[in-house]
Protein backbone atom coordinates (compact mmCIF):
# COMPACT_ATOMS: atom_id res chain seq x y z
CA UNK A 1 0.00 0.00 0.00
CA UNK A 2 1.71 3.15 -1.20
CA UNK A 3 0.20 5.91 -3.29
CA UNK A 4 2.83 8.44 -2.21
CA UNK A 5 0.32 11.22 -1.53
CA UNK A 6 0.14 12.52 2.02
CA UNK A 7 -3.33 13.45 3.20
CA UNK A 8 -3.83 17.23 3.53
CA UNK A 9 -3.80 18.92 6.93
CA UNK A 10 -7.57 19.37 6.69
CA UNK A 11 -7.92 15.55 6.67
CA UNK A 12 -6.27 15.35 10.09
CA UNK A 13 -8.13 18.40 11.42
CA UNK A 14 -11.40 16.64 10.61
CA UNK A 15 -10.16 13.32 12.02
CA UNK A 16 -9.31 14.87 15.40
CA UNK A 17 -12.71 16.57 15.59
CA UNK A 18 -14.50 13.37 14.58
CA UNK A 19 -12.64 11.12 17.06
CA UNK A 20 -13.92 13.06 20.06
CA UNK A 21 -13.41 11.98 23.66
CA UNK A 22 -13.00 8.29 22.90
CA UNK A 23 -10.31 9.02 20.34
CA UNK A 24 -8.47 11.18 22.88
CA UNK A 25 -8.59 8.35 25.43
CA UNK A 26 -7.25 5.91 22.81
CA UNK A 27 -4.34 8.21 22.00
CA UNK A 28 -3.52 8.65 25.69
CA UNK A 29 -3.70 4.89 26.18
CA UNK A 30 -1.40 4.23 23.22
CA UNK A 31 1.03 6.90 24.38
CA UNK A 32 2.03 4.75 27.36
CA UNK A 33 3.42 1.97 25.16
CA UNK A 34 5.03 4.44 22.77
CA UNK A 35 6.73 6.19 25.68
CA UNK A 36 7.98 2.81 26.93
CA UNK A 37 9.63 2.29 23.54
CA UNK A 38 11.20 5.75 23.44
CA UNK A 39 12.50 5.35 26.98
CA UNK A 40 13.97 1.93 26.23
CA UNK A 41 15.72 3.05 23.04
CA UNK A 42 17.21 6.33 24.22
CA UNK A 43 20.94 5.89 24.92
CA UNK A 44 20.82 8.61 27.59
CA UNK A 45 18.50 11.30 28.93
CA UNK A 46 18.44 14.15 26.39
CA UNK A 47 18.29 17.82 27.24
CA UNK A 48 16.06 18.70 24.28
CA UNK A 49 13.55 16.32 22.66
CA UNK A 50 11.20 17.10 19.78
CA UNK A 51 8.32 15.00 18.49
CA UNK A 52 7.66 15.41 14.77
CA UNK A 53 4.03 14.62 14.03
CA UNK A 54 3.07 15.03 17.68
CA UNK A 55 -0.68 15.01 17.12
CA UNK A 56 -2.63 16.14 20.16
CA UNK A 57 0.43 15.86 22.39
CA UNK A 58 -0.53 12.59 24.11
CA UNK A 59 2.97 11.12 23.77
CA UNK A 60 4.68 14.39 24.69
CA UNK A 61 2.52 14.61 27.81
CA UNK A 62 3.46 11.07 28.82
CA UNK A 63 7.16 11.75 28.20
CA UNK A 64 6.87 14.93 30.26
CA UNK A 65 5.20 13.01 33.08
CA UNK A 66 8.18 10.64 33.12
CA UNK A 67 10.72 13.45 33.05
CA UNK A 68 12.29 11.96 29.93
CA UNK A 69 14.01 15.20 28.86
CA UNK A 70 14.73 18.68 30.19
CA UNK A 71 12.62 20.35 27.48
CA UNK A 72 10.02 19.01 25.07
CA UNK A 73 8.72 20.44 21.80
CA UNK A 74 6.50 19.25 18.98
CA UNK A 75 5.45 19.90 15.39
CA UNK A 76 2.35 18.73 13.55
CA UNK A 77 0.56 19.48 10.28
CA UNK A 78 -2.84 19.79 11.98
CA UNK A 79 -3.85 23.06 13.63
CA UNK A 80 -6.59 21.15 15.45
CA UNK A 81 -4.02 18.77 16.94
CA UNK A 82 -1.62 21.57 17.88
CA UNK A 83 -4.43 23.35 19.67
CA UNK A 84 -5.22 20.19 21.63
CA UNK A 85 -1.54 19.74 22.54
CA UNK A 86 -1.35 23.31 23.81
CA UNK A 87 -4.51 22.71 25.83
CA UNK A 88 -2.58 19.93 27.62
CA UNK A 89 -0.11 22.59 28.74
CA UNK A 90 2.57 21.79 26.16
CA UNK A 91 3.44 25.28 24.98
CA UNK A 92 6.32 24.59 22.57
CA UNK A 93 4.18 23.02 19.83
CA UNK A 94 3.94 24.47 16.33
CA UNK A 95 2.29 23.76 13.00
CA UNK A 96 4.61 22.81 10.13
CA UNK A 97 4.07 21.90 6.50
CA UNK A 98 4.98 18.22 6.88
CA UNK A 99 8.20 18.70 4.91
CA UNK A 100 10.46 21.42 6.33
CA UNK A 101 10.88 21.90 10.07
CA UNK A 102 11.11 25.52 11.28
CA UNK A 103 14.18 24.76 13.40
CA UNK A 104 17.93 25.11 13.02
CA UNK A 105 20.49 22.34 12.67
CA UNK A 106 20.86 20.34 15.88
CA UNK A 107 18.26 22.47 17.61
CA UNK A 108 17.41 19.29 19.56
CA UNK A 109 19.23 16.25 20.90
CA UNK A 110 16.56 13.70 19.97
CA UNK A 111 13.79 13.72 17.37
CA UNK A 112 10.90 11.27 17.71
CA UNK A 113 8.70 10.16 14.81
CA UNK A 114 6.13 7.83 16.34
CA UNK A 115 3.60 6.41 13.86
CA UNK A 116 4.33 9.20 11.38
CA UNK A 117 6.35 7.76 8.48
CA UNK A 118 3.44 5.64 7.25
CA UNK A 119 1.56 8.94 6.72
CA UNK A 120 4.40 10.80 4.95
CA UNK A 121 4.50 11.22 1.18
CA UNK A 122 8.30 11.05 1.30
CA UNK A 123 9.36 9.31 4.51
CA UNK A 124 13.07 9.31 3.58
CA UNK A 125 13.10 13.09 3.24
CA UNK A 126 11.25 13.50 6.53
CA UNK A 127 13.79 11.25 8.23
CA UNK A 128 16.61 13.30 6.71
CA UNK A 129 14.97 16.49 7.99
CA UNK A 130 14.65 14.93 11.44
CA UNK A 131 18.36 14.08 11.43
CA UNK A 132 19.13 17.67 10.47
CA UNK A 133 17.55 19.03 13.65
CA UNK A 134 18.71 16.21 15.96
CA UNK A 135 21.67 13.78 15.88
CA UNK A 136 19.53 10.94 17.31
CA UNK A 137 16.19 9.93 15.80
CA UNK A 138 13.71 7.46 17.30
CA UNK A 139 11.24 5.97 14.82
CA UNK A 140 8.19 3.80 15.42
CA UNK A 141 5.83 2.37 12.79
CA UNK A 142 3.27 -0.42 12.52
CA UNK A 143 4.60 -3.26 10.34
CA UNK A 144 1.53 -3.62 8.11
CA UNK A 145 3.23 -5.51 5.29
CA UNK A 146 1.97 -8.78 6.76
CA UNK A 147 -0.52 -11.51 5.94
CA UNK A 148 -3.13 -9.83 8.13
CA UNK A 149 -2.27 -6.37 6.79
CA UNK A 150 -2.94 -7.47 3.20
CA UNK A 151 -6.62 -8.08 3.89
CA UNK A 152 -8.87 -5.68 1.98
CA UNK A 153 -10.65 -4.60 5.18
CA UNK A 154 -7.32 -3.85 6.86
CA UNK A 155 -6.00 -1.90 3.87
CA UNK A 156 -9.20 0.15 3.77
CA UNK A 157 -8.95 0.88 7.48
CA UNK A 158 -5.33 2.01 7.08
CA UNK A 159 -6.24 4.31 4.20
CA UNK A 160 -9.09 5.76 6.25
CA UNK A 161 -6.65 6.91 8.94
CA UNK A 162 -4.19 8.36 6.43
CA UNK A 163 -1.64 5.59 5.95
CA UNK A 164 -0.02 5.80 2.51
CA UNK A 165 2.77 3.26 3.14
CA UNK A 166 2.84 -0.26 4.54
CA UNK A 167 6.23 -1.26 5.95
CA UNK A 168 8.06 -4.36 7.06
CA UNK A 169 11.24 -4.24 9.15
CA UNK A 170 13.53 -4.43 6.11
CA UNK A 171 11.74 -1.52 4.42
CA UNK A 172 12.14 0.67 7.50
CA UNK A 173 15.84 -0.10 7.71
CA UNK A 174 16.26 0.76 4.02
CA UNK A 175 14.53 4.10 4.65
CA UNK A 176 16.90 4.76 7.52
CA UNK A 177 19.93 4.01 5.34
CA UNK A 178 18.68 6.21 2.50
CA UNK A 179 18.36 9.07 4.98
CA UNK A 180 22.04 8.68 5.90
CA UNK A 181 21.26 7.12 9.28
CA UNK A 182 22.16 3.83 10.91
CA UNK A 183 20.15 1.80 13.42
CA UNK A 184 21.82 1.57 16.83
CA UNK A 185 19.02 -0.27 18.66
CA UNK A 186 15.61 -1.70 17.80
CA UNK A 187 12.61 -3.55 19.19
CA UNK A 188 9.37 -5.17 18.09
CA UNK A 189 6.19 -5.29 20.15
CA UNK A 190 3.13 -7.54 19.56
CA UNK A 191 1.17 -5.15 21.85
CA UNK A 192 -0.36 -6.04 25.22
CA UNK A 193 -3.78 -7.63 25.58
CA UNK A 194 -5.21 -4.34 26.86
CA UNK A 195 -4.68 -2.82 23.39
CA UNK A 196 -6.83 -5.50 21.77
CA UNK A 197 -9.48 -5.09 24.48
CA UNK A 198 -9.78 -1.31 24.19
CA UNK A 199 -12.57 -1.29 21.59
CA UNK A 200 -14.19 -4.58 22.70
CA UNK A 201 -17.61 -3.71 24.09
CA UNK A 202 -19.45 -7.03 24.36
CA UNK A 203 -18.51 -10.24 26.16
CA UNK A 204 -18.05 -12.01 22.83
CA UNK A 205 -15.79 -9.24 21.54
CA UNK A 206 -13.69 -9.41 24.70
CA UNK A 207 -13.29 -13.19 24.38
CA UNK A 208 -12.26 -12.78 20.73
CA UNK A 209 -9.81 -10.02 21.64
CA UNK A 210 -8.17 -12.12 24.36
CA UNK A 211 -7.90 -15.11 22.02
CA UNK A 212 -6.41 -12.95 19.26
CA UNK A 213 -3.88 -11.51 21.68
CA UNK A 214 -2.94 -14.94 23.04
CA UNK A 215 -2.31 -16.31 19.54
CA UNK A 216 -0.17 -13.32 18.60
CA UNK A 217 1.89 -13.45 21.77
CA UNK A 218 2.44 -17.18 21.36
CA UNK A 219 3.62 -16.72 17.78
CA UNK A 220 5.84 -13.81 18.81
CA UNK A 221 7.42 -15.90 21.60
CA UNK A 222 8.34 -18.59 19.07
CA UNK A 223 9.66 -16.19 16.41
CA UNK A 224 9.24 -12.40 16.28
CA UNK A 225 10.14 -12.44 12.58
CA UNK A 226 7.44 -15.02 11.83
CA UNK A 227 4.91 -13.11 13.90
CA UNK A 228 5.65 -9.94 11.92
CA UNK A 229 4.97 -11.81 8.67
CA UNK A 230 1.62 -13.03 9.96
CA UNK A 231 0.15 -9.95 11.64
CA UNK A 232 0.86 -6.31 12.45
CA UNK A 233 3.40 -5.67 15.18
CA UNK A 234 4.97 -2.36 16.12
CA UNK A 235 8.63 -1.75 15.27
CA UNK A 236 10.76 0.98 16.84
CA UNK A 237 14.40 1.86 16.32
CA UNK A 238 16.95 4.43 17.46
CA UNK A 239 19.11 5.89 14.70
CA UNK A 240 22.14 8.14 14.42
CA UNK A 241 23.91 9.72 11.47
CA UNK A 242 26.14 7.33 9.56
**What digits encode the pLDDT tens for the residues 186-204?**
999 999 999 999 999 999 9
Question: Band of the pLDDT at 4, cuts 50, 70, 90?
Answer: low
For the stretch 141-178, pLDDT in tens is: 999 999 999 999 989 989 989 999 999 999 999 999 99
In this prediction, residue 1 carries a pLDDT of 46
How, if at all, do strands 48-52 and 110-114 pair? parallel
* Region label for 53, one of left (φ > 0), alpha (ψ between -120 and 50) or beta (otherwise): left
Is the pTM above the cut of 0.85?
A: yes
Which domains can be identified in the chain, with CATH numbers? 9-190+232-241 (3.40.50.150)
For the stretch 217-230, pLDDT in tens is: 999 999 999 999 99
In this prediction, residue 20 carries a pLDDT of 86
In this prediction, residue 43 carries a pLDDT of 85
* Cα 80 from Cα 6, distance rounded (Å): 17
Amino acid sequence: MSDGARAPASFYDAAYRRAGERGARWREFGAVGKADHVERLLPSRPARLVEIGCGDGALLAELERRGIADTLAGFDVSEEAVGAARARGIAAVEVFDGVKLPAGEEAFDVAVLSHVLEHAADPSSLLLEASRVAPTVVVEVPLERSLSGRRASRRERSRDIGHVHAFDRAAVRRLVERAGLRVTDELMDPLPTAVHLFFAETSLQRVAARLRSAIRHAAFAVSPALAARLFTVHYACACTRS
